[in-house]
Amino acid sequence: MSSISEEMAQLANYLANVRHQTLPDEVSHRASLHILDTIGAIVSGAEMPAGRAAKNWVDLVCGQGGTGSATVFGRTGRVGPIAAALANGMSAHADETDDSHMESHGHPGCSIVPTALAAAEDVGATGRDVVRAVVAGYDVGCRVSRSVGAADFDLRTGQRSSHALVGAFGSAAAAAVLYGLSEREIRYVLSYTAQLNSGVTSWMRDVNHVEKAFVFAGMPASQGMEAVSLVRSGCTGVEDVFSGTPNWFEAIVPNADRGALIRGLGSDYEILKATIKKYSVGSPAQAAVVAIEEMMAEEGLMASGVQSILIQLPTSSYVIVNNRTMPSINVQYLVCGTLLDGKFSFAMAHDEERMTHPDIVSLMERTTLVPEDAITGTRNAIVTVVRDTPEGTKTYRRHVTHVRGTSYLPMTADEVRTKVMDLVEGILGAAPAAKLCDRILNLQEEPRVRDVIAELYP
């Protein structure tokens, strides 16, 4: 054991024992909300291009139907847990519905939750087991990302993808918990995950959100599950990939914060810092939409007579949502559509044809997006609207620093339920959707998670 660093020893010990620990009520509750939110993203995303592509991939490599242990949402038959994790991961990030974690620059839920569900089906895990595994996944994935300073990665240049980093290590951790691996086996799992982890920021140029769904979710989910399956099959490896020479940190960043791997582990829960999106749009666009809705509700702002709209976003966010071809990540379109409709709607945010309508095009031509170094954080925006009114020209201005769903303003269970019902009711039907929400909100009482999933997809 002398060759094992303190960081690796604590990580492995935490993951080997967390399934026997009692989590604080707040942590368990928030985990259930994030699991429900992600399941909503999977069910709705399975009907979108990335989700359909993932199901086509499953058909190609697994054949039609299937007799495995895990479910691909929106598809009949069962497949192996690795394939299910990949496909459901891609569905979870087929859109901009899934959760995020600002400090790690990641979207943990879209990979960790599909991995946990696939593993739970495979082993017959309880809802309480899944909650603990998901919490552990967030704890490890987000800490690994923070240790290499991933929040400072510049998306405008070629970089490793922080989103894939969070997902791979988080998914591996969650699966390791559910399969009940020992501390030594967990050390091997983390080493295999370090070897498997990949992904670069060229996903920024993916106009269809399919490769992006793979990089953010499908790939890291399958990598985490693959690492665990390798070790379960008897593969051994390096017992501490984070220390010794050569090690993983040397290959990633020159000055890593190794202490971040275990700082607060077991008491400072990362899932409490994660964000559930109130609006199913790209994270950097959230605050701008909030600003428009608040000005409409509180100051009587209307689309008529608008001379100009100025949107100021953090420089790091600007490139992600600037005039993108996909409506849900085009901040100019989202602001203009919300203003013209008098409210935000999921339908508007996903209506590609609407982007070409004359009223939208006209208002977007009067809309300017500028990057501001002085504004920080991905959920921060200043929106200024100049409008002609009967009383003369009026300027409306709103600076939003926190949006609903962040750790500062967390969404309630009722709000998450409402969001998920809106996403899945048209797919599953009203009664099954409502029952799904009830069961996941009380997930810790479920004796077998596979029964919850089987009721959706027999």
Residue 80 contacts residue 63 (beta carbons within 8 Å): no
Location of structure tokens 């109130």:
278
pLDDT of residue 1: 45
Question: CA-to-CA distance for 37 and 39, rounded, in angstroms?
Answer: 6
153 — pLDDT class (breaks 50, 70, 90): confident
From CA 316, how far away is CA 58, in angstroms rounded?
Answer: 35
The answer to whether 186 and 175 have CB atoms below 8 angstroms apart is no
Tokens of 64: 């039609």
Q: How confident is the model at residue 2, as a pLDDT?
A: 52
Query: How far is the C-alpha of 162 from the C-alpha of 453, rounded, in Å?
Result: 30
* Mean predicted lDDT score pLDDT of the chain: 95
Domain boundary assignment for the chain? 6-278+409-456, 283-400
Measured CA angle at 282 (ends 277, 285), to 5 deg: 95
State the pLDDT at residue 67: 78
The three-state DSSP-derived secondary structure of 9-43 is HHHHHHHHHHHHCCCCHHHHHHHHHHHHHHHHHHH
**CATH class label, 283-400:** alpha beta
pLDDT tens across 311-331, in order? 999 988 898 899 999 999 999
Task: Check for a shared fold between 6-278+409-456 and 283-400.
Answer: no
CA distance 335 to 333: 6
**pLDDT tens string 419-433:** 999 999 999 999 999
Residue that the structure tokens 């969001």 belong to = 419
pLDDT, tens digit, for every residue of 96-124?
Answer: 999 999 899 999 999 999 999 999 999 99
**pLDDT score, position 63:** 85
Residue range 394-415, pLDDT digits in tens: 999 999 998 999 888 999 999 9
Task: Using the predicted structure, report yes or no on whether residue 376 has a pLDDT greater than 60.
Answer: yes
Q: What is the pLDDT of residues 164-216, one digit of tens each?
A: 999 999 999 999 999 999 999 999 999 999 999 999 999 988 989 999 999 99
For range 35-64, the mean pLDDT: 96
**For residue 391, is pLDDT > 80?**
yes
The CATH code of domain 6-278+409-456 reads 1.10.4100.10
Average pLDDT over residues 256-271: 98
Specify whether the CB–CB gap between 34 and 271 falls below 8 A.
yes
Instruction: Please enumerate in sequence order all residues whose Cβ is within 8 A of that of 427, keeping only pairs 6 or more positions apart, or say none.
Output: 43, 44, 47, 433
Distance, in Å, from the CA atom of 182 to the CA atom of 411, rounded to the nearest integer, reads 36
Tell me the average pLDDT across 220-225: 99
Can you give the pLDDT at residue 154? 77
